[in-house]
Amino acid sequence: MNLSRVVEVLSLTDEHISTSIECGKSGLSNGEFHAAVAAGGAVGPGHLYRAAGLSSLSEVKWQRLQFDRDERSGSKRSGSIAYELTRTGVYRAQGYAEDNRRSGACHFYVDAEAGKAIELDQRQALMLCHYCYPQEVELLRAKAQEEEARRRQLHDARQTIANEYERRLEVLKTSYGADATFTISSSSVGHENAVSAIARRGLSPMEAVQSDCSVRVTAFRDCGHEETLDTAICDAEAIASRVERRLETPCRACSDAARLRAAAEAAAAATAHLPALTGTPRQVEWANRIRAAFAAREPSSALLKRAVRAAYWIDNYKHLLPATRLVG
């Protein structure tokens, strides 16, 4: 595409056409781009890229170019590298030294035959690539439309399933006194790459959404404790059956409390002949259990009568009872 056509596409004037483009210490002239190095090599020389198509409707596919001449000093701390622009196209330079403190980035279109160029901004570079690669634009637009249609299907399926299961799970609230919360993971609809991933897996919209469903059921026992059940099963009857089986088992909270009470009573009985411990009620309870286990192992130890601080037994638990795990 010649420069006059570029000027027309971008709504520019011939005044924008030039044989050189200055980019601070770097720049384009005589068909070559010189990327400078400055600040003792801390800034520059960067890289030069040529547009090679479109990766999306809003992103150019850039091909990194190899420089043709290295005109830097032996230490690479000054000078520049040169690129011979022998092909017509859209270019992007990035990371070159604009001055002694800053690196720069710029876009430009080069007509290699005419030896002239037009400096572009990022939007103009994308617009020109859309014009240069019409077939890719058409394919990308068709793909975007397909993904948008599938995203809408997923959204509709998500809403349909949510409405259906919210209605069906009401049986848990009425029959079992349970509070059922139905959720769908956002991955099937919210993530940008999810639509393509679901298509690759060969799932229908309904299957994709169902694979991300989960249910949390909070069942209330007669004793007042709550039982929480998390499941990925998306069948209301199956969930109800699991809740019923759970409620038929002993309450975990009550069982744990009973086990702790039994352990505390046994410890108190085993240490009744020993001096009372000092500390908070919870410290004393826990320390008595440690002391009882230690007494069973070392019944003649002087520590049993000498150590009357609950904190001592708690702090030295692992030392006094190595490889021993107490209930609770």
Question: For residue 317, which amino acid is it?
Answer: Y
Report the alpha-carbon angle 229-235-241, nearest 5: 55
> How high is the pLDDT of residue 277?
87
Helical H segments across the chain, by residue range: 3-9, 122-132, 134-168, 170-175, 194-201, 205-210, 236-248, 252-270, 281-297, 303-306, 310-315, 317-320
Residues 94 and 76 in one domain: yes
- Are residues 67 and 82 in contact, defined by beta-carbon separation less than 8 angstroms? yes
- Is the full-model pTM beyond 0.85? no
Please answer whether residues 180 and 162 qualify as being in contact, where contact means their C-beta atoms are separated by less than 8 angstroms: no
61 with 55: CB under 8 angstroms?
A: yes
Amino acid at 233: I
Verify cis geometry, omega within 30 degrees of 0, for the bond prior to 45: yes
Last residue of some domain: 249, 266, 287? 249
Of 64, 97, 132, at which residue does a domain stop?
Answer: 132
Domain housing 261: 253-320
Residues 260 and 279 placed together within one structural domain of the fold = yes
Question: Which of the listed residues 249, 274, 307 is the one where a domain comes to its end?
Answer: 249
Claim to verify: residue 92 and residue 200 sit in the same structural domain: no
Q: Which residues contact 290 (CB under 8 A, 6 or more apart)?
A: 313, 314, 317, 320, 321, 326
Residues 90 and 72 in one domain: yes
Asked if 216 and 228 sit in the same domain, the reply is: yes
Same domain, 126 and 193: no
The Cα–Cα gap between 154 and 35 comes to 49
What is the rounded distance in angstroms from the CA atom of residue 225 to the CA atom of residue 32?
A: 78
> Would you mind telling me the total number of residues written for the chain in this entry?
328
Domain shared by 127 and 155, yes or no? no
- 147 and 220 both lie in a single domain: yes
With b for 16 or more beta-carbon neighbours within 10 A and e for fewer, the 50-80 pattern comes to bbeebeeeeebebeebebeeeebeeeeebbb
The beta-carbon contacts of 278-285 under 8 Å, at least 24 apart in sequence, are: 278/308, 278/309, 278/310, 279/309, 279/310, 279/311, 280/310, 283/310, 283/311, 283/314, 284/310
Residue 326 lies in a domain: no
Task: Based on the fold, state whether residues 27 and 108 are members of the same structural domain.
Answer: yes
Please, what are the averages of pLDDT over each run of 10 residues along the chain (328 residues)?
82 87 90 92 92 91 94 91 93 91 91 90 92 89 84 73 64 58 48 50 59 67 75 64 76 83 80 86 86 84 87 88 69
Residues 144 and 207 in one domain: yes
* CB-CB neighbours of 254 under 10 Å: 13
Residue 327, in any domain of the structure: no
Q: Do 178 and 125 belong together in one domain?
A: no
* Overall domain count for the chain: 3
* 315 found inside a domain: yes
Residue 328 in any domain: the answer is no
Examine the domain organization and report whether 316 and 278 are in the same domain.
Answer: yes
- Give the model's pLDDT for residue 192: 44
Confirm whether 73 is domain-assigned. yes
